[in-house]
């Protein structure tokens, strides 16, 4: 009995290629031709493995969050490192990724979230982008609320505002990196925002 035709491509490699296209062009700007060409597969193979464009986008977004964003988050909770240094390491790790010329510059999520206002992003794709937009502020707010050093410095009193300040900065550096501003220039801005919330 035949076991069926084997896939002639690696799904993880193809998914990462699709992620790069969405990162470069956004959801709206990425055509099926752009996607399949970069993925190295034809449209029937794409539909069979990943579903339609929206399903592919959702999988690519989940892949981005798991492989690109979570390593940055881990830096916030390093042991025996000051709060200021943890935040600096975390934010500069993100900025380094945003400025990486070997891949699409800026931030995949920030680019695609900016397209939501167009109304051209389908419901489930819109939902995952909105959820991803809430997560950083929640993460930073919880950190400022519960971290011992943060409490000692009184940063917990304005935990949400401090979290929003950091996230606003990182959205800004994403846009600046995409327009060609280098990492060392953006590092000064990171230092200024940390000083501004009370981490001198």
pLDDT in tens, 167-185: 999 999 999 999 999 999 9
CA distances from 1 to 4, 5, 61, 184 (A): 9, 12, 38, 61
Mean pLDDT of 80-105: 93
Q: Which band of pLDDT confidence, cut at 50, 70 and 90, is reported for residue 2? A: very low
Given a cut of 80, is residue 130 above it in pLDDT?
A: yes
Asked if 108 and 132 touch (Cβ cutoff 8 Å), the reply is no
Distance of alpha carbon 127 from alpha carbon 133, whole angstroms? 10
Mean pLDDT of 59-79: 96
Q: Which band of pLDDT confidence, cut at 50, 70 and 90, is reported for residue 200? A: confident
Q: Which band of pLDDT confidence, cut at 50, 70 and 90, is reported for residue 3? A: very low
pLDDT (tens digit per residue) in 18-38: 999 999 999 999 999 999 999
Distance of alpha carbon 137 from alpha carbon 159, whole angstroms? 10
- Tokens representing 149 are 């050093």
Mean pLDDT (the chain) is 94
Please report the pLDDT score of residue 60 as a whole number: 97
- Tokens representing 195 are 């000083």
Distance of alpha carbon 17 from alpha carbon 107, whole angstroms? 16
Asked if 23 and 60 touch (Cβ cutoff 8 Å), the reply is no
Q: Which band of pLDDT confidence, cut at 50, 70 and 90, is reported for residue 104? A: confident
Task: Compute how many other C-beta atoms are within 10 angstroms of the C-beta atom of residue 129.
Answer: 21
Percent of the chain past pLDDT 90, that is, above it, reads 92
Domains parsed from the chain with CATH numbers: 64-196 (1.10.357)
Please report the pLDDT score of residue 1 as a whole number: 41
Mean pLDDT of 78-97: 97
Please report the pLDDT score of residue 7 as a whole number: 59
Please report the pLDDT score of residue 107 as a whole number: 95
Largest CA distance in the chain: 70
Taken in order 155, 156, 162, 166, is the CA torsion positive or negative?
positive
Please report the pLDDT score of residue 159 as a whole number: 98
Q: What is the DSSP letter of 121?
A: S
- Which residue in this structure is represented by tokens 């680019």? 111
Please, is 48 exposed, middle or buried when counting C-beta atoms within 10 Å of its C-beta (0-12, 13-18, 19+)?
Answer: exposed
Cα 180–chain centre separation: 18
Residue 10 backbone dihedrals phi, psi, to 5 degrees = -90, 125
């Amino acid at each position: 009995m035949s076991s069926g035709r084997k896939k002639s491509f690696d799904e993880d490699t193809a998914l990462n290629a699709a992620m790069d296209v969405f990162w470069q062009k956004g959801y709206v700007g990425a055509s099926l031709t752009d996607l399949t060409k970069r993925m190295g597969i034809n449209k029937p193979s794409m539909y069979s493995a990943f579903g339609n464009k929206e399903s592919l986008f959702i999988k690519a977004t989940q892949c981005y969050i798991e492989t690109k964003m979570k390593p940055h988050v881990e830096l916030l909770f390093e042991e025996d490192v000051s709060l200021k240094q943890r935040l600096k390491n975390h934010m500069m790790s993100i900025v380094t990724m945003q400025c990486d010329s070997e891949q699409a510059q800026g931030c995949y999520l920030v680019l695609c979230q900016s397209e939501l206002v167009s109304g051209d992003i389908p419901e489930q794709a819109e939902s995952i982008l909105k959820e991803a937009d809430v997560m950083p502020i929640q993460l930073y707010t919880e950190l400022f609320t519960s971290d011992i050093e943060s409490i000692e410095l009184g940063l917990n009193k304005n935990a949400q505002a401090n979290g929003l300040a950091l996230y606003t900065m990182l959205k800004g550096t994403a846009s600046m990196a995409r327009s060609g501003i280098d990492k060392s220039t953006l590092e000064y801005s990171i230092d200024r925002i940390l000083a501004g919330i009370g981490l001198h």
